[in-house]
Amino acid sequence: MSARVMVVDDDAGFSRALERICRREGCDVVLASSGEAALDLFGANPCDIVMTDLRMPGIDGIEMLRRLRALDPHLLGIVLTGQPTVESAVDAMRSGAFDYLAKVAGVPELEVKLRRALGVVEVRRRAEALVTRSGGAERALIGEHPAMRRVRELIEQVARTPQTPVLVLGENGSGKELVAHAVHTRSERAERPLVAVNCAAIPRELLESEFFGHERGAFTGAERQRLGVFELSQEGTLFLDEIGDMPLELQAKLLRVLEQREYRRVGGSQVQRFDARVIAATNRDLEEEVNAGRFRRDLYYRIAVFPIALPPLAERTSDLPLLCEHFVMQLRRSLGRDLEGVSEEALAALARYDFPGNVRELRNLLERAAIVASGSWIRPEDLSLPGETPSGKAVAPARRAAEIDHAAIDAALEAHAGNKAQAAASLGISRFALLRRLRDRTG
């Protein structure tokens, strides 16, 4: 679907010149000779972009843009003027203009400004399509990087087999719970509950009761019967987040439930049937945990029937424009702000950052930036990226895994006796990034 551009200018010759530029970029074009005409036409001809002269008889370009954006807050405005001044540029930006340009700038610069706006329109459409495909903005897996496309393919495949255990691997903040939700909602268990439990957040002494439930009087303080997550997730999906942090003694009991599909509440004698798909997730290397004796090998094989590995954000920076647009749409609603998006300069600053907190960190950075931003676009100075100077230049950024050659990886592993976590730390990359490099080399 091509973008639609409205050209508004009382100079017919200049309007035709702009029309030719827009059509060369594949746009549909609507012409209006005044601000009043543009307002009349817009209802029947909604547009993605408006290119308008600043000074016109009657309603000027800035006032017209304000009124059009009241009808469509997503409209991108490019204000053109034959008499550029600092004051008019400031007024244009305050009215929500996407860009500002002197008419004498020439065709190449006009084309650059138009292409920038068309790029924003395209990113918005792609982000909205991904949200629609995911069934809701809060649970959407946003990204078109090949690794993310593969993740969505695997989700569709395993969703069709409602008993198959799934193991989601990824760094903190990479979206493991979103994968669990996507598998659940696409399966025949979607009408039943999805119950999530964070194995790292429950006190050790309460884990058994949390999982199995307990009968009244089973132990001191058990004043009433309590249902555990095995029972609450019946016929649905049980999501065990951070399963790598589960104590060994509970691992054995979990394995027994998964194999026998039955359990008893703490203090109870009645056998309860267990019928739920189990999706486990971890930020640990479970194979390494098994070798170190911290995770049961038999449980690992039981839950790792269908692994899905999420890439860290630092390895898919091409998805940053889509992710930023997605989060801007959310923040626009939650903060009630007239927020347009993330500027090209801010996107470039984000692309230089390695995001140890992954997508969750990006979302938090953008929320803070949206609150402090003085205009409708998030600028580099609004981001306050860790490790950056006030000028926005990165200070000693961590290296990306792709920049490190195989010899350096082998040397680091040898220096740390094969310990992948220590080797990754010495290289300045995450453990998962190192594991992906090793898998790519052997695959």
Q: 108-141 burial, b for 16+ CB within 10 Å, e for fewer?
A: eebeebbeebbebbebbebbbebbeebeebebbb
| Residue with the two structure tokens 């347009």 | 340
Give pLDDT tens digits along the chain (443 positions): 788 999 999 889 999 999 999 999 999 999 999 999 999 999 888 899 999 988 888 888 888 988 998 888 888 999 888 877 777 777 777 777 888 888 877 888 888 889 988 988 888 888 777 766 655 545 678 899 999 999 999 999 999 999 999 999 999 999 999 999 999 999 999 999 999 999 888 887 788 888 888 888 777 777 788 888 999 999 999 999 999 999 998 999 999 999 999 988 888 888 899 999 999 999 999 999 999 999 999 999 999 999 999 999 999 999 999 999 999 988 888 888 778 889 888 999 999 898 989 999 999 999 999 988 887 889 999 998 876 544 444 433 444 555 566 777 777 787 777 777 777 777 767 666 677 677 666 65
The count of other CB atoms within 10 Å of the CB of residue 181 is 24
- Residue 251 has a pLDDT of 93
The per-residue DSSP string of 196-226 comes to EEETTTS-GGGHHHHHH-B-TTSSTT--S-B
Which architecture characterizes domain 4-131 according to CATH?
Answer: 3-Layer(aba) Sandwich (3.40)
pTM beyond 0.75: no
What pLDDT was estimated at residue 389? 44
Question: What's the pLDDT tens digit per position in 132-171?
Answer: 665 554 567 889 999 999 999 999 999 999 999 999 999 9
**How many residues belong to the chain?**
443
Side-chain half-sphere of 21: how many Cα atoms within 13 Å? 21
Question: Residues of 64-97 as b/e, b for ≥16 C-beta within 10 angstroms?
Answer: bbeebbeeeeebbbbbbbeebeeebbebbbebbb
Quote the percentage of the chain above a pLDDT of 90: 46
Q: What pLDDT shows up at residue 37?
A: 93
What integer pLDDT is reported at residue 399 of this predicted model? 47
CATH number of 401-442: 1.10.10
Cα separation of 129 and 120, whole Å?
14
> Is 401-442 the same fold as 4-131?
no
The answer to whether domain 138-309 has CATH 3.40.50.300 is: yes
DSSP letter at 32 equals E
Domain 317-383 fold is Helicase, Ruva Protein; domain 3 (1.10.8)
How far out from the chain centre does Cα 393 lie?
24
- How far from chain centre, in Å, is Cα 429? 21
Which pLDDT value is given to residue 400?
53
Under 8 Å between Cβ of 387 and 394: yes
Nearest residue to 229 via CA among 219, 242, 238, 217 = 238
Residue 108 in tokens:
């190449």
Number of other CB atoms surrounding residue 296 within 10 Å: 19
Query: Are 294 and 247 within 8 A, CB to CB?
Result: no
pLDDT of residue 146: 93
Q: Domains of the chain: which residue ranges?
A: 4-131, 138-309, 317-383, 401-442
Whose CA is closest to 94, among 67, 72, 66?
Answer: 66
Query: How far is 88 from 10, CA to CA, in rounded Å?
Result: 18
